[in-house]
Amino acid sequence: MSLPPTSQDLLEPSTRPYFLWWLDATVADLRRHLQSEDLEERAYWMGALLREANSRDVWLFVTPEEVKALWPLLVRHLGRTRERWAWLLGLPAPQWPPAEAHGA
């Protein structure tokens, strides 16, 4: 059993999602960016979704498999939610900042 979205408005393409509060973007814009051929673009938008949205709303837009597939590019966009998403998806906790950032 899954919980319903926090708002049925998130099912409407013209809705401005609450979790993209700093952008002038609609649900349709988000969906387009999440399907982009550019993996960095997709990672940025998916990161914003995972970082800012209620977790029950995340699954309206992406699947766990999509998140896992993009994880190496996505993890830098997750901020303080990195470890929570790793745990929820059964992934190893990410080391942040990455070892290469320390010159290792």
> In the chain, where are the structural domains located?
8-102
Q: How crowded is residue 53: how many other Cβ atoms within 10 Å of its Cβ? A: 21
Spatial separation of the C-alpha atoms in residues 56 and 35, rounded to whole Å? 20
Task: Evaluate if residue 1 carries a pLDDT over 80.
Answer: no
Query: For the segment 35-66, what is each residue's pLDDT rounded down to a tens digit?
Result: 999 999 999 999 999 999 999 999 999 999 99
- DSSP, collapsed to helix, strand or coil, labels residue 55 as helix
Residue 102: its pLDDT value, please? Answer: 59
pLDDT tens figures, 63-91: 999 999 999 999 999 999 999 999 999 99
What are the structure tokens assigned to 70, written together? 């993009």
pTM as predicted: 0.91
